[in-house]
Structure 1
Amino acid sequence: MHRTKESAVSSIANGSRTETASPSSPRPSDDPRFTVVDDAIAELATGARTWSRLTLGQRARLFERVRAAVGAVAEEWADTASLSKDLAPGHPLRGEEWLAGPYAVLVSLDAYLVSLRALASGRSPLEGVRTDAAPGGRIRAHTFPSRAIDGLLLSGYTGEVWLQPGVTAEEAVGSAGLGQRRPTASGGVGLVLGAGNVTSIPVLDVFYELLAHNRTVILKVNPTQDALVPIYERALAPLIGPGFLRIVRGAGDVGAHLTGHPGIAHVHITGAATTFDAIVWGPGETGEQNRRDNRPALHKPITAELGGVSPVIIVPGAWSDADLRFHAEHVATMRLQNSGHNCIAGQVVIVSADWPQREAFLTALATAYDAAPARSVWYPKADEKLQAAASAYPSAIWNADRTRALVELDADADATALETTEYFAPVLGVVSLPGNGQEFLDAAVAHANQKLTGTLGANVLIDPTTLAALGDGFERAIADLRYGAIAINTWTAFAFLTPTVTWGAFPGGTADDVQSGIGIVHNGYLLDRVERSVVRGPFRPFPRSAGAIGRPGTFSVLPKPPWFVTSRTGAAVSEGFTRFKIDGNLPRLAATLVQAFRA
């Protein structure tokens, strides 16, 4: 079992990624904010009846209008998000806000539109998608790439959805579509408590409520996203007009009123485990007593995505100097993208103490970590997390004006804080285990499962020769990793950005032991009984990937990915990819690809 009791305590300083108090918090009877909220819920109840009368074709046309509206505000969206995170015009990392904002929303809309149109014509969204066996009596659906253009833009990257053991391919095809297979069955009004760190998350959660569950939605944005609200309102105007969505602002008291409102049928939160516990059980000592007595304060279903401590498992092999540099930048990206304020930021690097190249890799990692572009640690209370890391690990190496910590632990050092505290800030640790080959991989998987808090995302880096040598043993080890998203030679953020795979914790979280959450989102094919998603990328970028042709490994024509924090052209390429999703302009895409090769 993952260590989760510490998670509920130690994630306090995540900055309360969702600002919400418990349902028992008092409401001032004359506060006009609550009247606005009550009116919005009443309007959504009417909207839920309207939604249940729309045909699948009408829903598809509605989401086409949303897509056009998102495209119209994309530049303002990316610019406003960048400025809110202290990324001034011209900053090399502004591309993050194109990819994690409008791009993520546009590709998700495309995936949902494909599924809606298939269902409207009487077909399963999964029809035509290749499935095969995965270890442990599972099947997996190969859901990415689904179109030739995806294979071009993200050459060498693939995505699979693994279903729970015992689910057959026929059952998967027959159940794909979730709520859209029963479009007249209303799910009532759902509450989305939006994340504060990534601007696409609240919007994607709204889509999933509508499509997977037939729930109209009241979205309470995190205060960190207040500047985006006018943009959200324009982007989502086709959903707001007919009463399918309302957007409200406010702090914990507004959230508390919403979670306790009798008109809310379901709650979904992206945030911290402490916030989840306060919602479900109540705040402070009251909540602890309620938990002991098994008397939850929340009397309605809840789903959640709550982050965790993500491992980066480095499988030892014979790496070239270029491999060492590339994957050092890769790991630095996993920690430093969005200034570390990500629920699946890589936090614990697990390396072999017996790997002859261990020191060379760690030297390259320290160099890449220090050389990444400077930026603010902008998320509320992140400075407290950095101070906590400094206190726990006085030998940590600090750089970037003491805003980044690199912690290399000796064999006898206490790794508890590093492995059980989701720092949600630039703190990266290194833990060493003995062994090579399968022995090391199995030990690293067991360590991640047993020692690290959470079950959201895990990363594995392995060279093609070692991967071929391990054979079936590698896939068995992946099956043993108890994480909802697993990235092999890429980062789990790729799973987040890929709408035809799923996003969420490994199954098993409960209200009493929530781990990294309950349920999934994204899931463009609307698949049922999902266990996890696995994404795979090229170990080497182009042109060094050319050696993988005809041999074990992954060939790619993609050079350094634009999401790397060290990409010289990442901002231009990320913007270019987004603009291509908006207008399909092939000549302009060609210019973007030229920029990609200059990364």
Structure 2
Amino acid sequence: MSSTSSDPVTVALDDDIAALRAGLTSWSHLTLGQRARLLERVRVSVVACAQEWAEQAALMKGLDDRHPLRGEEWLSGPYAVIVALDAYARTLAELSAGRSPLGALTLGTAPGGRVTVPAFPATPADALLLSGFTAEVWLRPGVTAQDARTTAGLGQRHPSDSGGVGLVLGAGNVTAIPVLDVLYELVAGNRVAILKLNPTMDTLAPTFRRALAPLIAAGFVRVVTGDGTVGAALTGHAGIDHVHITGSQATFDAIVWGIGDEASRRRRDDDPAMPKPITAELGGVSPVIVVPGEWTTADLRFQAEHVVTMRLQNAGHNCIAGQVVVISRDWAQRGAFLSELRSAYLGAPQRPTWYPHAPERVARAAADSPVAETYDGGGERVLMVIDAESDASALETTEYFAPILGVINLPGTGQQFLDNAVAYANERLTGTLGANLLIDPATRTGLGSGFDEAIAALRYGAIAINAWTGFNFLLANGTWGAYPGGTLEDVGSGIGIVHNALLLDGVERTVVQGPFRPFPRSVGTMTDPAERTVLPKPPWFVTARTGAEVSEGFTRYQMTGNVAGLARTLALALRA
């Protein structure tokens, strides 16, 4: 299974994969209870290096220890990994006791006879820290509640049946992603794994090795760095049984089909260059559908800041960043909303556009669009409000992965607008990873079942109603991945899912719902169960004045359970 090369890098990779193949035997002999305890040890090591992790990630992205957005790196790094480890350990404990991970859950239904599985809140801490937010996993039509209960567990239902050695080609933008993808290989796929970091993450390699130390010491995980030649050596290595990538469609196609004339020939002959099983999360162009209603001035401002957060969190370098705002040209408050959107876009804290080649993409978009509005003086942010006569194809089909936001106008109000927006998102926008939708409680009530049917018609793997799909990403029991249907020939936003700590089979999507108004403005609508929240402006808002402190505080509470520290964090949250 090893190569014959004497190149030191190749020899080192051979040694790593040989060690993992030896570790397979140990992994297959661990009981489910032992696996749960091993993940608890990993949790301890993650907690031990959480501060180092968050601080190094912030510095990597140009955020010093006083920057108001440094808290992003707590939530999208150690926080996400800790909640996932806790959730996987709970699932393994249930399976070890002979119970389904869904045994204590009440399953529901969604349009089309779909079965739904509650995913959030999963713990009392969830309900306290993020009150008003809920999530459920929708299973594919035809999957019954009994099917869901009996199949939950995936690779851990038969733990001695090894899934082999997996390769994780890690993302370069969000620090939790590589670690979460390794955990999913281990638990869902029952595979040991080698993690190849994206070069943007190389400075974090020592931190990741410390965080995963119990798995590395046992021979279940290896972490390597290097350029594309290392990735190519790994994807082609005979000792790799499965590949998972978080990245771009271009990279996926190059791995599977090759490049240039070779790729064309292989596609024509249905002869992949890499025939191994592969799963992928590849991003896309995410819509933010704004359903017209009667909004207060505070509503307009809050939701404008919400949209700006969807675009500017992590400087826009997110596969799930909102890119196309879809609004009604017939909405009486359209002008007022756009005014608030421009103000929030301009007023959000400045930060580096740090991801490789992103500044060039911003400059090209500003130069190529006749309606581009630039912000920050140097053109670091672009807003494009596109009218019916302008060509929107670049905005609709290019995942900019940069601070570029567009606005599209569609006709209609009420159900007509919503149906138009759903059809537009499904048919015109590239990708099926995530869609966001903003709607006030009165308008939603007025639409009745038509609203639910519209949500069911949206072909996206993550949907957020009065929330951002970045929240979906943070959910351990939720699922993360494209809407089903991607193939090697037409991969779209990807194939398969990750996270999924309940280890569900037959998944279609995860739907998150949040409150339209934050506390204390939510008090007036608390008779609506969907609006009951005591959470003020969420800490992940780029406009949250105390977001850095609250994000760190939330993570530290998740780490330690310290109630006194939580009280201080909640007090800060009220000042957001």
TM-score where L is the length of structure 2: 0.98
Match of 2:307 among 311, 327, 331: 331
Shift, 1:551, TM fit: 3.6
Name 2:492's counterpart in structure 1.
Answer: 515
AA aligned opposite 1:141: V
**Map of 1:180 onto structure 2:** 156
Name the residue aligned to 2:478.
Answer: 501
Residues 408-557 of structure 1 mapped to structure 2, 5 A cutoff = 408-551=385-528, 553-557=530-534
Cα deviation for residue 288 of structure 1 reads 2.4
2:247 corresponds in structure 1 to 271
Q: Which residue number in structure 1 is paired with residue 188 of structure 2?
A: 212
Q: Which moved more, 1:252-261 or 1:145-154?
A: 145-154
Question: What is the CA–CA distance in structure 2 between the aligned matches of 1:334 and 1:152, rounded to whole Å?
Answer: 24
Question: For each residue in 1:325-372, what CA deviation from the matched residue of structure 2 results, as whole angstroms up to 9, or x when unmatched?
Answer: 000000000000000000000000000000000010011000000000
Task: Look up the SS of the partner of 1:213 in the other structure.
Answer: coil
Partner of 1:321: 297
Equivalent residue of 1:402, what SS?
coil
What is the distance in 1 between the residues matched to 2:547 and 2:246?
Answer: 27
Q: What amino acid sits opposite 2:352 in the alignment?
A: S
Is residue 216 of structure 2 the alignment partner of residue 240 of structure 1? yes
For the residues of structure 2 that align with 1:195 and 1:101, how far apart are their CA atoms? 12
Classify the secondary structure of the residue corresponding to 2:383. Answer: strand
SS at 1:136 equivalent: helix
- Aligned partner of residue 194 in structure 2, secondary structure: strand
CA displacement at 1:553 relative to structure 2:
4.3
User: In the aligned structure 2, how far is the partner of 1:327 from the partner of 1:180?
Assistant: 42
AA of the residue aligned to 1:322: A
Residue 392 of structure 1 corresponds to which residue in structure 2? 368
Whether the 8 Å CA contact 2:49–2:211 is kept in 1: the answer is yes
**8 Å contact kept, 1:392–1:417:** no
| Equivalent residue, structure 2, for 1:11 | none
Q: Deviations over 1:24-66 (max 9, x none)?
A: xxx9933201110011001100111110000001001100000
- Secondary structure of 2:16's partner? helix
| Matched letter for residue 461 of structure 2 | G
Q: 2:7 is aligned with what amino acid?
A: D
Other structure's SS at 1:52 match: helix
Residue 365 (structure 1) aligns with = 341
What are the residue-to-residue correspondences of 1:10-159 with 2, within 5 Å? Answer: 29-159=5-135
When structure 1 is superposed on structure 2, of 109-118 and 547-556 the one drifting more is 547-556
- Whole-Å separation in 2 of the counterparts to 1:45 and 1:451: 45
Q: Residue type matched to 2:93 in 1?
A: R
Match of 2:176 among 191, 195, 200: 200
Do the aligned partners of 2:5 and 2:11 also contact (CA within 8 Å) in 1?
Answer: no
Q: Aligned partner of 1:436: which letter?
A: T
CA RMSD of aligned residues (A): 1.0
Q: Calculate percent identity across the aligned residue pairs.
A: 64
Report the Cα distance in structure 1 between the residues aligned to 2:4 and 2:23, rounded to whole angstroms: 28
Checking the alignment, whether the CA contact within 8 Å between 1:547 and 1:555 is kept in structure 2 is: no
SS in 1 for 2:353: coil
Aligned equivalents of 1:390, 1:338: Cα separation in 2:
20
Stretch of structure 1 that moved more, 529-538 or 381-390:
381-390
Q: Check the 8 A contact 1:98/1:575 in 2, yes or no.
A: yes
- Which letter does structure 2 place at the counterpart of 1:126? L
Offset of residue 552 of structure 1:
6.5
SS in structure 2 of the partner of residue 165 of structure 1: coil
Residue identity opposite 2:338 in structure 1 = L
* In structure 1, C-alpha distance between the alignment counterparts of 2:204 and 2:227, rounded to whole Å: 16
CA distance in 1 between counterparts of 2:373 and 2:328 reads 21
* SS of residue paired to 1:386: helix
Q: How many residues in Structure 1 have an aligned counterpart in Structure 2? A: 573
Q: Kindly provide the amino acid, as one letter, of the partner of residue 44 in structure 2.
A: A
Residue identity matched to 1:521: V
Structure 1 residues without counterparts, runs of 5 or longer: 1-26
Q: What is the CA deviation profile of residues 417-436 of structure 1, one whole-angstrom value per residue up to 9, with x for unaligned ones?
A: 00000000000000000000
**Aligned-partner Cα distance in 2 for 1:215–1:114:** 19
Letter in 2 for 1:38: D
Structure 2 counterpart of 1:56, one-letter code: L
- Structure 1 residue 88, shift from structure 2 partner: 1.0
Question: How far apart are the structure 2 equivalents of 1:289 and 1:325?
Answer: 53
Matched position secondary structure for 2:292: coil
Q: Residues 46 and 212 of structure 2 are in contact (CA less than 8 Å); yes or no, is this contact kept in structure 1?
A: yes
TM-score (norm 1): 0.95
- Between the aligned partners of 1:292 and 1:279, the Cα distance in structure 2 is 16
Q: Which residue of 1 aligns with 2:238?
A: 262
2:325 matched to 1:349? yes
Structure 1 letter corresponding to 2:244: H
Residue 379 (1) aligns with residue 350 (2) = no
Say which SS state the counterpart of residue 503 (structure 2) adopts: coil
In the TM superposition, what is the alpha-carbon distance from 1:385 to its structure 2 partner? 1.3
- The DSSP-based 3-state class of the residue aligned with 2:29 is coil
Please tell me the residue identity of whatever aligns with 1:493: G
